[in-house]
Amino acid sequence: MEDILRPLYQERTSQQNTLGVIAVQKREKVSIFTENFDTVLLVIVKEAEEPVFIKHYLYGEKKASLFVVTETQLNEWLLLGSNRKVIEWLYHGKTLFDRNDFVHELKKEMREFPFYGRKIKMSIEFSRLIRRYTDGKAFFTNGHYLDAYNHVMHSLHHLARLAVIENGFYPEVTVWQQVKQMEPEIYKLYEELLTSDEDLQKRLELLFLASEFLIYSRAESGAAHLLSVIKEKESWTIQELLDHPEVKHYAVDLAILLEYLIEKSFVQELSVETKGHGIYHRYYQITDK
């Protein structure tokens, strides 16, 4: 394989802009990891006009994909978990070229998973979890059980990913295999939702009861990043929090996350008078415990 495909990446290795080249082979007959290509060549570059550039090739009776990505885009995917197949490629791919140990250090960082990165990723997953769980509960209360089921299933995925991150690992595409080993209690909830003989309404009712505690038990660690930001000063407006350069990664779910943290007494609201009679600005601050 390497000899045949070498011309696809060899010229790039002589360019200072190229940081690394990784090859990923299809491991099963049908592979979600490589999108059914026999080989994926991941080329990481310092900068480019487009953050992602893709080309597809044929060699013999096989298919190859050349995937060029900038360092900035790659770091964003790693932080947000928004392109899980690339995480798989980094974990399982073979390094063909590595400028100044860039790929080696990147893989090392992924294995060690620095705590700073974990805190942001956990808040991203926790905010998504709260969004899905809250919306699912609202659909359930209003009798829309299929919509509730869809949101609950997503909330369990976020809970699973949160648990994996909390254990110091990146969530992989096969996240439920990871969770089965690390957090069997969460896996059991997922399994029961899928396979229980109870009718859908009863399954959802039982799951809401069981997951409530599991979510609350992770609230402090899941929201640790946001709580640490709020502690930086006495009080915040919603816009000040939205403008924070790190909070922006989960800004879309910030309002509902704040409501949950107020409900659970991690955060409290503060009323500040406006010019309008009886109308107050709503500020947020850490609850004194």
d(CA 144, CA 75) in angstroms, rounded, equals 39
Residue 184: what pLDDT? 94
Under the banding of pLDDT at 50, 70 and 90, the label for residue 114 is: low
Residue 272: what pLDDT? 86
Q: Is 155 exposed, middle or buried (0-12, 13-18, 19+ CB in 10 A)?
A: buried
Residue 28: what pLDDT? 73
Which phi and psi (to 5°) does residue 212 adopt?
Answer: -55, -50
What percentage of the chain carries pLDDT values higher than 70?
Answer: 97
Residue 116: what pLDDT? 59
Token pair 């109870």 in the structure block, residue: 198
pLDDT of 32 strictly over 80: no
Buried (b) or exposed (e) across 198-215, using 16+ Cβ within 10 A? eeeeebbeebbeebeebb
Q: What is the pLDDT of residues 148-175, one digit of tens each?
A: 999 999 999 999 999 999 888 888 778 8
Three-state SS string across 108-134, please? Answer: HHHHHCCHHHHHHHHHHHHHHHHHHHH
What's the average model confidence in pLDDT over 43-69?
Answer: 94
Q: What is the pLDDT of residues 7-30, one digit of tens each?
A: 888 889 999 999 999 999 987 765
Under the banding of pLDDT at 50, 70 and 90, the label for residue 135 is: very high
pLDDT of 2 strictly over 80: no
Tell me the domains of the chain and their CATH numbers: 2-112 (3.30.460.10), 115-273 (1.20.120.330)
pTM reported for the whole predicted model: 0.80
Q: What is the pLDDT of residues 211-234, one digit of tens each?
A: 999 999 999 999 999 999 999 999
Helix (H/G/I), strand (E/B), else coil: 244: coil
What's the average model confidence in pLDDT over 55-59?
Answer: 93
Cα dist from 196 to 157, 184, 189, 236, whole Å: 18, 17, 10, 45
What's the average model confidence in pLDDT over 69-80?
Answer: 90
What's the average model confidence in pLDDT over 126-146?
Answer: 96
- Please state whether 67 falls in left (phi above 0), alpha (psi between -120 and 50) or beta: beta
Helix (H/G/I), strand (E/B), else coil: 169: coil
Residue 247: what pLDDT? 94
Cβ count near 171 (within 10 Å) = 21
What's the average model confidence in pLDDT over 232-239?
Answer: 95
